[in-house]
């Protein structure tokens, strides 16, 4: 899955979690986004493992991790709890975390719910969930239509996607910042395809987005005045939808006590398409 890393799966806090681990040093967790798996870190994690113990799990609903039934089980709070439990299982009560896309939203929730656990935080190519949904721009709604399509009641989106999952999910990979399919590593793309062709993964990803509208928005509204306590890095794709529609750094300024930001060449999926620049930024921040 990730070169030089070992792969594991276990029941953690009552939920089956799959993860890869490698390296030595201070613990650093890496969280993937939609529609990917932990394979997205294959060209980044080995470099970070030169100075850190790197842990890269599949989020619940994705990849090889469990796909619970209830929508409520897919809230960012539940996913953040998975990571806290996994890191405790591995012997770490304090750790750094970086997350892209949905993983970034899980990391944000974790930093609010367990501030003593998170030493440093990096979120990639997102604006805060409550900001996006409460002040939805027309251009964002057009590009990020999948938020609302995937959130429709089961089994409507599952059946439509299931007819040709490669077509749907590859359109997602190519639609948020001008990437080409050739920009994605062939082995990583094969891992994504193997996951998203599974009907249970499709259902899990839909439930992830359903939970955002039914649970995450309310959780974030309740914490509207909360600020992330640890040093925070905000990375975004220079040519992505978020950068075109928002002052990405500005959306996080009031959410963090200490924040820095930087653009990475490419669109939304810059960890895949620009792994070198992404790795350099992460190494500089995490030390």
228 secondary structure, DSSP code: B
d(CA 181, CA 189): 9
What is the SS3 assignment for 54?
A: strand
Residues making up the chain, counted from first to last:
287
d(CA 55, CA 239): 29
Q: What is the DSSP string of 102-114?
A: HHHHHHHHHHHH-
Which of the residues 52, 108, 215, 268 is marked catalytic? 268
Per the annotation, the verdict on 185 as an active-site residue is: no
Phi, psi of 233 (to 5 degrees): -115, 130
Instruction: Write out the H or E segment, with its range, that includes residue 222.
Output: helix 217-222
| Residues whose CB falls within 8 Å of the CB of residue 182, separated by 6 or more in sequence, listed in order | none
- The two tokens of residue 85 are 């439990």
Residue with tokens 């367990």: 114
d(CA 179, CA 198): 24
| Residue 133 CA: distances (Å) to CA of 23, 93, 186, 216, 271 | 38, 32, 34, 11, 24
Per the annotation, the verdict on 8 as an active-site residue is: no
Which of the residues 52, 82, 100, 101 is marked catalytic? 101
Strands 53-57 and 15-23: antiparallel
List active site positions.
101, 268
């Amino acid at each position: 899955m990730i070169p030089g890393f070992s792969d594991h799966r276990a029941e953690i806090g009552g939920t089956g979690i799959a993860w890869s681990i490698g390296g030595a040093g201070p613990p650093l967790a890496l969280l993937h986004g939609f529609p990917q798996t932990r394979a997205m870190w294959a060209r980044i994690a080995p470099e970070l493992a030169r100075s850190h113990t790197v842990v890269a799990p599949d989020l619940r609903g994705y990849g090889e991790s469990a796909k619970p039934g209830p929508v409520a089980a897919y809230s960012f709070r539940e996913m953040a709890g998975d990571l806290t439990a996994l890191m405790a299982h591995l012997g770490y009560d304090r750790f750094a975390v970086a997350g892209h896309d949905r993983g970034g939203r899980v990391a944000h929730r974790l930093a609010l719910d367990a501030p003593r656990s998170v030493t440093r935080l990096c979120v990639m190519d997102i604006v805060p969930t409550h900001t996006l949904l409460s002040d939805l721009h027309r251009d964002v709604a057009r590009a990020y239509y999948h938020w609302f399509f995937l959130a429709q009641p089961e089994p409507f989106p599952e059946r439509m996607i299931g007819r040709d999952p490669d077509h749907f999910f590859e359109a997602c990979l190519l639609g948020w910042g001008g990437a080409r399919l050739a920009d994605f590593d062939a082995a990583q793309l094969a891992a994504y395809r193997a996951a998203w062709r599974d009907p249970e993964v499709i259902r899990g990803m839909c439930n992830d987005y359903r939970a955002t509208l039914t649970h995450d928005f309310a959780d974030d509204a309740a914490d509207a005045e909360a600020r992330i306590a640890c040093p925070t890095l905000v990375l975004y794709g220079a040519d992505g939808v978020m950068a075109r529609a928002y002052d990405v750094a500005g959306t996080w300024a009031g959410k963090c006590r200490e924040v820095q930001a930087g653009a990475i060449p490419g669109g939304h999926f810059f960890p895949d398409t620009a792994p070198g620049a992404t790795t350099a930024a992460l190494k500089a921040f995490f030390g």
